Amino acid sequence: MSLLHSRIVGKGSPLIILHGFLGMGDNWKTLANKFAEAGFQVHLVDQRNHGRSFHDPGFSYALMAQDLLVYMDRHGIESASFIGHSMGGKTVMEFATRNPQRVSKMIVADIAPKAYPQHHQAILNGLTNLWETQLTERSQADDLLSEYVAEPGVRQFLLKNLYWVDKGVLGLRMNLPALKQNIEEVGKPLADDARFEGPTLFLKGAKSDYILPVDEIMIKRHFPAAIIDEVAAAGHWLHAENPREFYQNVIDFL
């Protein structure tokens, strides 16, 4: 089976970080260095069809959890702590409920175990435009994407997927066709009977609506030991919008 790509920083207790949809491990470099300074060996993992990891037509949380198990076995990691943001949080939940003995502690960033409606269509349309265009400059890609995505911060996040395929030719790292084909998988809920009883922290952005008060009942049903906390002055990208408070919450829990 193919092995996920990762960047490994530091030495100590393993801490595996999983990015969100259309992201990559490199999005977490700054925080990874801080966790490494605190005594963790941080694994910034690119999930399948993202970043530098392998492309595959299959895409689901069951497959991504299996990828994680293969990754840990290949790296000789018996158990680890995990941070998962958004889609990465769903992967971590899936993994923990299937392999509880491999999870020391789990932090889920701004996502609940519930179903979410598909809400990435404008972004996918913009990325499709980039995919089908011969790109020669990053500014050209930004101009094209701005027709679909108004927020400069979101465009900057998405354009981190650009890389030089050849001299003077830019491409996108993610496997866009597979992600578009399987987009409904991203919003799927955790199975009703899935359960993990180990130490769990759910962190939500104070300005985000991804985790609502009503969701706390479901969270506690799947994760009875869960602590649910909030990061101030932050939306869905809480680790980027308020990294200091996010880091402190996580390090206190770990």
> Known catalytic residues?
86, 236
* Backbone φ, ψ for residue 115 (5° rounding): -80, 145
The pairing of strands 169-172 and 162-166 is antiparallel
Distance CA 84, CA 97 (A): 14
Structure-derived torsion over alpha carbons of residues 96, 24, 107, 179, reported in degrees to the nearest 10: -50
Which residues lie closer than 8 Å to 109 by C-beta, 6 or more apart? Answer: 83, 84, 85, 86, 88, 89, 203, 238, 239, 246
What one-letter code names the amino acid at 34? K
